[in-house]
């Protein structure tokens, strides 16, 4: 996903001189295309993420379209006050892009687990929260953010994620993307869980179930209409995310509760407890129930 983001940003920056990219002492072997081609619009701020956010706000006030890039927890948790007061309060065109969403950097331990970022970002005023499901969605989301002219948060995995979409979908901020139609159950995915959700759908289909799959790349604003239509159509919804409490599952639950929709609902997500085991993303997902088998088991139980 990060490769799709950088490539798209470079393509657009070639035509739009307003685009700047700031990073916090990382991105080596990733950001060189941008830094080489647009050195006057690239700043490595160093390990000073709070200053980076303030610098981004100042550039945005000067008419620039600014992108911040770092590992998920550092430009979010460390900079929450700056994002809230400098960026969101003034509704500035600052785009916070993070890599390592969820358990991507699982081997580096809890300090690098992105488990709370969607919850934190989606409560902020004026903030749009996007978690693409594959490189295709990442590319389309990058273009949409540039045109959005408001604070955005883009949550990426790392590198090597597979392309899930067989053809380019229509991407619109605030809208779900239907990959499969079904009558028995709806699976709603956000972020890097999309491939597993599609695999679960295929396995369930082979067992005779009719499964609808929705990719929800925009967590805020949420596509409430798609959720309500799914509830009316299938009567059973499972949200799937590599994130803890307060993310997609909580957002979907709010919609269903406020509209008083009679539906069976489960949220597959990380729990509140800190993950104290280091390991690969695949291993940690499996330990925490975010596996193909885990999704299928919960689906059949409904």
Report pLDDT digits (tens) over 211-255. 999 999 999 999 999 999 999 999 999 999 999 999 999 999 999
User: Tens of pLDDT along 258-286?
Assistant: 999 999 999 999 998 889 999 999 999 99
pLDDT class of 159 with cuts at 50, 70, 90: confident
Q: What is the mean pLDDT of the chain?
A: 96
% of the chain residues with pLDDT over 90: 93
Asked if 128 and 96 count as a contact pair (C-beta separation under 8 A), the reply is no
pLDDT digit string (tens) for 171-193? 999 999 999 999 999 999 999 99
Residue with tokens 């291993």: 283
Confidence label for 162 from pLDDT (cuts 50, 70 and 90): very high
- pLDDT for 243 equals 97
Of 158 and 173, the one with more pLDDT: 173
The mean per-residue pLDDT over the stretch 7-29 comes to 94
**CA 282 to chain centroid:** 18
pLDDT at 158 over 90: no
pLDDT of residue 161: 87
| pTM tops 0.85, yes or no | yes
Report strand pairing: 94-99 vs 65-71: parallel
Give the percent of the chain with pLDDT over 70: 100
pLDDT of residue 198 exceeding 90: yes
Q: What is the mean pLDDT of residues 90-96?
A: 98
């Amino acid at each position: 996903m990060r490769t799709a983001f950088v490539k798209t940003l470079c393509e657009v920056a070639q035509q739009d001189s307003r685009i700047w990219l700031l990073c916090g002492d990382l991105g080596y072997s990733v950001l060189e295309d941008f830094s080489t081609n647009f050195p006057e619009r690239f700043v490595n701020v160093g390990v000073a993420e709070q200053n980076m956010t303030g610098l981004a706000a100042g550039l945005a006030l000067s008419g620039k379209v600014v992108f911040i890039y770092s590992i998920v927890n550092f430009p979010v948790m460390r900079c929450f006050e700056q994002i809230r007061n400098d960026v969101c309060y003034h509704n500035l065109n600052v785009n916070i892009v993070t890599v390592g969403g969820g358990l991507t950097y699982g081997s580096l331990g809890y300090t690098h687990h992105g488990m709370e970022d969607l919850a934190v970002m989606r409560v902020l005023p004026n903030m749009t929260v996007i978690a693409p499901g594959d490189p295709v969605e990442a590319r389309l989301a990058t273009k949409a953010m540039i045109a959005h002219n408001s604070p955005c948060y883009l949550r990426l995995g790392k590198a090597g994620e597979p392309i899930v979409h067989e053809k380019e979908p229509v991407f619109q901020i605030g809208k779900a993307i239907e990959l499969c139609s079904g009558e028995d159950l709806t699976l709603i995915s956000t972020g890097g869980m999309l491939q597993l959700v599609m695999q679960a759908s295929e396995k369930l289909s082979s067992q005779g179930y009719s499964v609808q799959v929705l990719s929800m790349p925009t967590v805020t604003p949420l596509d409430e209409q798609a959720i309500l239509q799914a509830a009316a159509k299938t009567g059973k919804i499972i949200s799937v995310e590599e994130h803890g409490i307060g993310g997609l599952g909580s957002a979907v639950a709010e919609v269903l509760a406020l509209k008083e929709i009679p539906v069976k609902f489960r949220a597959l997500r990380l729990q509140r407890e800190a993950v104290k085991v280091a390991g690969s993303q695949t291993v940690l997902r499996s330990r925490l129930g975010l596996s193909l088998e885990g999704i299928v088991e919960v689906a059949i139980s409904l």
